[in-house]
Amino acid sequence: MKTFFISTAIDYPSTIPHLGHAYEKVCADVIARFKRLQGFEVHFSTGTDEHGLKIQRSAEKAGKQPKEFVDFMSGKFRKLCDELKISYDDFIRTSEERHLKVVQLIFKKLHQAGDIYKGFYEGPYCTECETFYSEEELVDGKCPVHKKRVERVEEESYFFRMSKYRNKILDSIERNPDFIQPESRKNEIINRLREPLKDLCISRTDFDWGIQLPIDKKHVLYVWVDALSNYLTTIDYPTDKFQNFWPVDVHLIGKDISWHHCVIWSSVLLSLGLPLPKKIFIHGFVTYKGEKLSKSRGLVIDPTHLTKTYSVDALRYFLIREISFGQDGAFSEEGLRTRLNDELADVFGNFVHRVLTFTRDRFGGKVPDGKIDKKLEAELRERVEKVEKLLEELKVTQALEEIMAIAGRGNEYFQSCRPWEAIKSDPKKAADCLLNCVNLVKVLCIALQPFMPSVCDKLAEQLNLKITGWEGIKKFDIKSGHSIREPTILFQKIQAQSPSRGNELVSVKDLSKLDIRIGNVVKAERVPKSEKLLKLEVELAKERRTIVAGVAEHYRPEELVGKQVAIIINLEPAKLMGIKSDGMLLAAVEEGKISLLTVDKSVKPGARVE
């Protein structure tokens, strides 16, 4: 069996995953599923990149040991993959023992090749991207990617002779036009390689959360060499499995890490004497209101909220359809709703539902006796061959566009036969129409399987079919008499909800407008003539405020004294029952019951809530 190896980047589990991470995994999953349908033995790897200073610091911030921290955080990334129906074959974590062994073997080989030497490193380092920069690469003294201040590193280090591989990499790019895609990204790499390539500093001594160098235990390996090696760990380098799957068919990565893959990783592979990847495909960024989603900048959109509201398949569809593969693309909840309502529900869902309910209602759930429309079958074969070619070229956005055009064609065909009229005047025509339409639904069910696996499984069930391979897409082979099962709606339309229900996404900038503090309730009393209001005296850092809160039905005044509550302090004061109220308490509200937000440890009055 022919093999196919596709990998995504492995994510830093320093904070929770965002829609950008989800995007990369969905794209890779579409390709992996398509290849499996084509009959390839696929190895699809993803995972988490768990070593390095950034993770160590995030763990410290969370008050946890690094291992305990990554165990917890990595679980969130794996859970996201499962929620998104990512069909990974391996979820690799760089803190695993198997990875440690492979990395140490790789390091020994680089050393034996004479490519490692000891030196002294002095220069800027960005911990956010875990990257050494030269002074010239900085923009206004800051990291060119994160626009954050860099740190200065001055320490004894081991170096990798990357300079040696510049010409070989340039040569490979030239000889293999497919190696780096898309073209524009390839040109960026070629331009950067016009300058001489420097050797790479590959060890650090000022923290210890990483893999020790086998030749010098004082040093831990630079996190990128550790991380990139995951691609060999996941196929059990250097065993038979590795022989079967290397070179990788596609490394799918985002544009911020193209240098690390195209140049650092290629140099390591060349030093190991291994073939270079067949393709490194560099996708663009998911943006929101013009900014890149990013953990470090605090702009995070939670994919789980979106899958719960709109369904996993709608989100997968939106990401592939909206963001032209290889370029940046904007996310908006409105855009997602429009794609769901106008395309999935109105075009694809509508066609399928009309065909299946007509078959159920007018033909007793059995595909009627009719004639295959050879012209339509040939037209469809041509269209799906185009889809196949696009998918082989990784043009996932265009492939999906083409498939949706087939769904549109289905609607048009159904509409032009007018089977609801023909059933009375020309039943044979109605039967012919439905036989062809059911086959068309099957074509869509196979073509869309890599993109929307859950919905297509449901549809296959309704069609009473097992989707076993891509080949079945080219024939109208559902025969008269085939029974279908009970049709159900595939996509529910979703209308915009009012922002007050909390469903509009906001950025951290919006949130930071609110000044929320912890206040200590020092006095509480009922407001005369009011059943609902309590008057509270709340102590903040340097002041006391009076707050009138509608909590009298839920708390007795004495219960509140001594509580540390969360208060919004930068609202305009309001007058309630003649009393000026200068702030608002935060509370959880459930079925009319109110529970004030308090902190679980004693903090100083005035502490900020962030």
Point out which residues bind ligand ME8 (CB under 6 A): 9-12, 20-21, 23-24, 49, 227-228, 230, 253-254, 256-257, 285-286, 292-294
- Residue 10 CB, shortest distance to ligand ME8, in Å, is 5
- Which is it for strands 534-539 and 516-526: parallel, antiparallel or unpaired? antiparallel
| Torsion (CA) 251, 86, 103, 248 in degrees, nearest 10 | -30
Would you say 84 or 293 has its CB closer to ligand ME8?
293
Both tokens of residue 49?
């990149």
Q: How far is the CB of 235 from ligand ME8 (least distance, A)?
A: 14
Closest approach, Cβ 11 to ligand ME8, in A, equals 4
Shorter beta-carbon distance to ligand ME8: residue 228 or 463: 228
Reported as half-sphere exposure (CB side, CA atoms, 13 A), residue 110 has a value of: 32
Q: In the bound complex, what is the minimum distance in angstroms from residue 610's beta carbon to ligand ME8? A: 22
We find the least distance from the C-beta atom of residue 306 to ligand ME8, in angstroms, to be 14
**Closest CB to ligand ME8 among residues 232, 548:** 232
Whose Cβ is closer to ligand ME8: residue 267's or residue 436's?
267
Taking the least distance from each CB to ligand ME8, the nearer of 203 and 294 is 294
In angstroms and rounded to an integer, the radius of gyration of the C-alpha atoms of the chain is 30
**Angle (CA) 587 588 593, round 5°:** 105
- Report which secondary-structure segment, H or E, holds 250: strand 250-254
Identity of the residue, 17 or 453, whose beta carbon is nearer to ligand ME8 in the bound complex:
17
What DSSP assignment string belongs to 134-189? Answer: -GGG-BTTB-TTT--BPEEEEEEEEEE-GGGGHHHHHHHHHH-TTSEESHHHHHHH
Least distance from C-beta 91 to ligand ME8, angstroms? 14
Q: Where are the alpha helices (DSSP H) in 10-147?
A: 19-37, 53-61, 66-83, 97-112
Q: Are 74 and 150 in contact (CB under 8 A)?
A: no
Q: What is the DSSP letter of 471?
A: G
Judged by beta carbon, residue 36 or residue 185, the one nearer ligand ME8 is 185
Three-state SS for 252?
Answer: strand
Shortest Cβ 268–ligand ME8 spacing (Å)? 11
Q: Which is nearer to ligand ME8, 228 or 447 (CB)?
A: 228
Using the minimum distance from each CB to ligand ME8, give the nearer residue, 131 or 203: 131
Do 280 and 179 contact (CB within 8 A), yes or no?
A: yes
Place of tokens 């996509």: 491
Q: How far is Cα 561 from Cα 559, in angstroms, rounded to an integer? A: 6
- Listing DSSP states for 186-241 in one string gives HHHHHHHTTSPPPPEE-EESS--SSPEETTEEEEEE-HHHHHHTHHHHTTTTTSHH
CB 352 within 8 A of CB 459: yes
Report the residue number whose CB is nearest to ligand ME8.
Answer: 254
H or E element that contains 489: none
Q: Which two tokens stand for residue 288?
A: 């929101």
Q: What's the closest the beta carbon of residue 300 comes to ligand ME8, in angstroms?
A: 9
CB of 325 to ligand ME8, least distance (A): 11
Least spacing, CB of residue 248 vs ligand ME8, in Å: 12
CA–CA distance, 461 with 459 (Å, rounded to integer): 5
- Joined tokens for residue 543: 């002041």
Q: How far is the CB of 382 from ligand ME8 (least distance, A)?
A: 34
Beta strands 564-568 and 544-549: pairing type?
unpaired
| C-alpha to C-alpha distance for 610 and 607, rounded to whole angstroms | 10
Give the whole-angstrom CA distance, residue 103 versus residue 156: 21
Let me know: does 250 contact 286? Beta carbons within 8 Å.
no
Closer residue to ligand ME8 in complex, CB, 285/363 = 285
Burial of 141 (0-12, 13-18, 19+ CB in 10 A): exposed
Active-site residues: which are they? 18, 21, 126, 129, 143, 146, 292, 295
In this structure, are residues 462 and 488 in contact, taking their beta carbons and an 8 Å threshold? yes
